[in-house]
Amino acid sequence: GLAPQGTTMKSARRRSREFAVQALYQWQLADPSLADLETQYAAADGFAQANAPLFSALVSGVMKHAEGLRERLQPHLDRPWAEVSPIEHAVMLIAAFELAHAPETPYRVIINEAIELAKSFGGTDGHKYVNGILDKFAAEVRADEIAFQAANPSERKARVEKKAPSVVTKPRRIAKP
């Protein structure tokens, strides 16, 4: 959801992605099963405010498609996967999974979420690295959506305005006695 800067309000989807980053970080280091991760995170503090089906879809999707996602991302990386921090690795896999398998979520939303996750959990400039790689990957897997938005900037604006209606106040006329 849209919250004023400085507040701690987070959408259920953002929370799900945060938990997914943590779960996939763990998965890279210890290789727990999906069931173990789901059980562990279901009991985690704050998980009740997350979107549990999204968490499961992201974690299971990345676990299932990790090799293919890594192969598709590799040409955009400037280093081998072994040298990418596990946090940035997890963030990029989640975003790449969403870009490739969740066409209903706009690519800009996916990339912005990934940048925020990299800022929250990653190293100092990790979000810039993640952004650069995901921009290139999005250009590959979301080319039609990107081209459409470039050709129709008003479409995007109209969608944004529908989500956040502005309040219009009309001056009242006061009847003179």
3-state class (DSSP) for residue 10 = coil
Counting every residue written for the chain, the total comes to: 177
How many angstroms from the chain centroid is the CA of residue 70? 17
Residue 154: what pLDDT? 78
Higher pLDDT among residues 116 and 155, named by residue: 116
Rounded to the nearest 5 degrees, what angle is found at the Cα of 103, between the Cα atoms of 100 and 108? Answer: 90
Mean pLDDT lowest among 90-99, 126-135, 156-165 = 156-165
User: Confidence band (pLDDT; 50, 70, 90) for 165?
Assistant: very low
pTM, entire model: 0.81
Distance CA 37, CA 59 (A): 9
Distance (Å, rounded) from C-alpha 115 to C-alpha 138? 14
Whole-number Å distance between alpha carbons of 108 and 91: 15
pLDDT band for 177, please (50, 70, 90 cuts): low
Q: State the average pLDDT for the chain.
A: 87
Residue 1 has pLDDT above 50, yes or no: no
